[in-house]
Amino acid sequence: MPALILSTMDGGKTWKKTFQSTRPFETTWKASFPTRKVGYITIQSYNPDPNVKQQHIAKTTDGGMTWSELNLVEDAQAREFGIGFLDEQHGFVGTMSSGFETKDGGQTWSKIDLGRACNKIRIYQDGKQKYGYAIGVNVFKMTE
């Protein structure tokens, strides 16, 4: 089954498909909306074929009405879990094997240590100070 994103405008009475990947063995998992318009979703791949390595995320710039895919990393072991963004450009994705950081809205990613199986990334703001937690096998605190 491909990954799927649905949206509702009437409190859940009706739903509309706003994104569907073209690949089998995928599901959407976690979402992060740093603003009302810009949001990101992890796309987990469970493809048993070890030659399928490219991992993706989905991004919206119109509040979830439309989505586009962005490449995360080409690594079959990097099954995606948590996602969190400090703002529209600076964010993090946790995977089964490590973490990744972007500072350009998901166009490029750098490998960072968020521990294994980082399934939750929570971002908070206290006044002007932003900070977050990456939670998986370990717990990491991030500050901006």
Per-residue pLDDT tens over the stretch 56-100: 999 999 999 999 999 999 998 899 999 999 999 999 999 998 899
Q: Measuring CA to CA, which residue among 9, 12, 21 is closest to residue 67?
A: 21
* pLDDT > 80? residue 143: no
User: Do 47 and 53 form a contact (C-beta atoms < 8 A)?
Assistant: no
* pLDDT > 90? residue 121: yes
pLDDT at residue 32, as a whole number? 96
* pLDDT > 80? residue 48: yes
User: What CATH architecture does domain 4-143 belong to?
Assistant: 6 Propeller (2.120)
pLDDT at residue 140, as a whole number? 87
Give 123's strand partners: 132
pLDDT at residue 85, as a whole number? 94
* pLDDT > 90? residue 10: yes
Residue 119 pLDDT grade (very low, low, confident, very high; cuts 50, 70, 90): very high
pTM: 0.92
CA 12 to each of CA 3, 8, 21: distance values in angstroms, whole numbers, following the listed order? 20, 6, 22
User: Do 101 and 94 form a contact (C-beta atoms < 8 A)?
Assistant: no
Angstrom distance (rounded) from CA 82 to CA 77: 15
